[in-house]
Structure 1
């Protein structure tokens, strides 16, 4: 992909999205893996039905497509939390909100799926 000269040293939007997919998100699994999951990034505890499990976003999306889990909406992504965040940012010029680092990419991926 041809990028302007001033962007060649930075990350592309697809690379940023790839990094965001490693953020952990909570799911309610519909399957029992019985064993821990060995991933390149580390070991995750096994998935158990009717229990909240934390998995990378890419895995949650993959399981959701196969109807193997339900993704829990992050607390920061509710209407009330976003409204409060907006009010907090508008009331002060000294700090940014406490949203996750890749909040835009995470929200876009969750809303697309």
Structure 2
């Protein structure tokens, strides 16, 4: 039996409580409480199973976090974006200026 702290496996227990409770009933997992800390005694082969499921959970969480984060752009892309935005603003300024009247009304002179 190996001692592991339950902190590392609290997420696993939240995810799969039934599995952990079954293990506790079969005396393959023992829980000890001492000075506010909870220790878990686990058989080594079960520990390997727990570790693999924990690793899968952690990998899934990391992938989710990566998907949620916007990907950082490389310098070339940032420069292109800045240039594009600058050109956009210049175009906008030009468009926003009031248009001069090119065609003036000409009065017809009588001769």
Is the radius of gyration larger for structure 1 or structure 2?
A: 2
More helix as a share of residues:
2
TM-score by length of 2: 0.27
Report the TM-score when normalising by structure 1.
Answer: 0.27
